[in-house]
């Protein structure tokens, strides 16, 4: 895998999972489980015996808080609200990013027309836009949707363009030699080659979306997981905070693993090299 996907902005992690020389044998899995179990024990002991403060919840307290909020209906509501925002914005942003990216990658006039804005706006963090977005759209769903789309679209766009640029000249020439017209070259050569790059961009964009949604909910929201964490601060409910953080980690991890799987499927099928 040395040298594969070297052009991806995601770096070493963008394009492949870390299955290096070390295989995940049963010993490694056992060590990992041992490590987690040990950590939980240490956590529980330090929080109940050493720190004993409301600021540092124990494992049992965190679990209890999760249970309470779940039963009270708060947790399911917040989870679904946050998930909806992430997924909706992510889908829209990915679609837009892929389409514009393919366009910009293929037609150089379009690319040069939009390039200055691309290079500028992609460095403005989405959260910075919460201010204007709030002025324009208020504190409803539109604001958050706008932010998530913004967070996703540029990274997918940039990766898509990298994919289009990655198409080997010889393949295009081959297709042209067989009499392919420009749209056929696009459909049968450029598009398949770009797909793995688009998926990579989406994977990174998913992470961005998450971060943005949580930030937006903390700053200008009244529901969602970000709001839940931040509002717990006022009541010093660190157990709720920790519980929500665990949920966030699980979601992020699951989403990334799904993308990893998708990437492997896609890479195998479209084999960018």
Partner 1 sequence: MYCGATVHANNRLLTTVSVAGSSRWARIGRALWDDHLNTILIYGVSLVAVLGCWQLAADRFHLFVLFPPPSTTFARLAGLILDGRLEVAAAVSLLRILAGFIAGSVIGILLGLLLGTSRTARALLEPYVHFLRFVPPLAWFAPVLLWVGTGELAKVLLIVYTTVFVVALNTMAGVIAIPRNKIRMARTFGGGPLQIFFLVMLPASVPYIFTGMRIAMGNSFMTVVAAEMLAANEGLGYLVNSGVLFLDTSTVFSGVIALGTLGFVIDRIFQSLIARFGGRFAPR
Backbone φ, ψ for residue 69 (5° rounding): -65, -30
Choose the stretch contacting partner 1; rule: CB under 8 A; options: 7-15, 40-48, 69-77, 261-269.
Answer: 7-15
User: Which positions ≥6 away from 209 have C-beta within 8 Å?
Assistant: 86, 89, 90, 93, 148, 151, 152
Q: How far is the CB of 237 from partner 1 (least distance, A)?
A: 10
Provide the residue count of the chain: 273
Which position among 62, 242, 266, 272 is part of the footprint of partner 1 (CB under 8 A)? 242
Task: Tell me: does residue 18 bind partner 1 (CB under 8 A).
Answer: yes
Q: How far is the CB of 34 from partner 1 (least distance, A)?
A: 8
| Residue 123 contacts partner 1 per CB under 8 A | yes
Q: How far apart are CA 41 and CA 36, in angstroms?
A: 9
Contact characters 168-207, partner 1, x per CB under 8 A: -x--x---------x---x---x----------------x
132-151 residues near partner 1, rule: CB under 8 A: 132, 134-136
**Separation between Cα atoms, residue 67 and residue 35, nearest integer Å:** 25
Cα distance between residue 273 and residue 177, in whole Å: 20
Please give the DSSP secondary-structure letter assigned to residue 129. G
- Name the token pair of 170: 């010889």
Token readout for 152 is 């996703």
Helix (H, G, I), strand (E, B) or coil at 271: coil
**Residues 37 to 76: which contact partner 1 by CB under 8 A?**
39, 55
Least distance to partner 1, CB of residue 186, Å:
8
Identify the residue among 167, 175, 191, 199 touching partner 1 (CB under 8 A).
167
Task: Give me 79's structure tokens.
Answer: 């989870």
Which of 44, 68, 125, 223 forms a contact with partner 1 (CB under 8 A)?
Answer: 125
Residue 148 burial by Cβ neighbours in a 10 Å radius (0-12, 13-18, 19+): buried
| Contacting residue, 105, 196, 201, 205, with partner 1 by CB under 8 A | 105
**Minimum CB–partner distance for residue 110 and partner 1 (Å):** 10
Residues 218-237 within binding reach of partner 1 (CB under 8 A): 218-219, 225-226, 229-230, 232-233, 236
Of 40-48, 90-98, 114-122, 265-273, the segment contacting partner 1 by CB under 8 A is: 114-122
Question: Does 90 sit near partner 1 (CB under 8 A)?
Answer: no
Determine if 243 is a binding residue for partner 1 (CB under 8 A).
no
Q: Are 78 and 260 in contact (CB under 8 A)?
A: no
Determine contact, residues 160/101, Cβ cutoff 8 Å.
yes
Q: Which member of 59, 92, 211, 262 binds partner 1 (CB under 8 A)?
A: 211
């Amino acid at each position: 895998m040395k040298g594969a996907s070297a052009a991806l902005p995601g770096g070493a992690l963008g394009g492949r999972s870390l299955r290096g020389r070390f295989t995940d044998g049963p010993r490694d899995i056992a060590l990992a489980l041992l490590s987690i179990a040990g950590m939980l024990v240490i956590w529980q002991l330090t929080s109940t015996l050493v720190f004993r403060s409301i600021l540092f919840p124990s494992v049992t307290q965190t679990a209890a808080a999760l249970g309470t909020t779940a039963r009270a209906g708060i947790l399911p509501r917040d989870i679904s609200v946050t998930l909806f925002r992430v997924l909706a914005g992510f889908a829209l942003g990915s679609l837009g990013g892929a389409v514009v990216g393919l366009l910009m990658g293929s037609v150089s006039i379009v690319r040069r027309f939009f390039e200055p804005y691309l290079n500028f706006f992609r460095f403005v963090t989405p959260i910075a836009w919460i201010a204007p977005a709030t002025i324009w759209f208020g504190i409803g769903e539109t604001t958050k949707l706008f932010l998530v789309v913004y967070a996703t679209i540029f990274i997918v766009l940039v990766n898509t363009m990298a994919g289009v640029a990655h198409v080997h000249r010889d393949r295009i020439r081959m297709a042209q030699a067989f009499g392919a017209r420009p749209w056929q070259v696009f459909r049968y050569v450029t598009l398949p080659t770009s797909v793995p790059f688009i998926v990579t961009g989406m994977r990174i964009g998913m992470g961005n979306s998450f971060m943005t949604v949580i930030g937006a909910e903390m700053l200008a929201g009244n529901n969602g997981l970000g709001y839940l964490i931040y509002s717990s601060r006022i009541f010093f409910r660190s157990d709720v905070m920790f519980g929500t953080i665990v949920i966030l980690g699980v979601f992020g991890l699951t989403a990334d693993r799904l993308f990893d799987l998708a990437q492997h499927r896609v890479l195998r099928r479209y084999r960018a090299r």
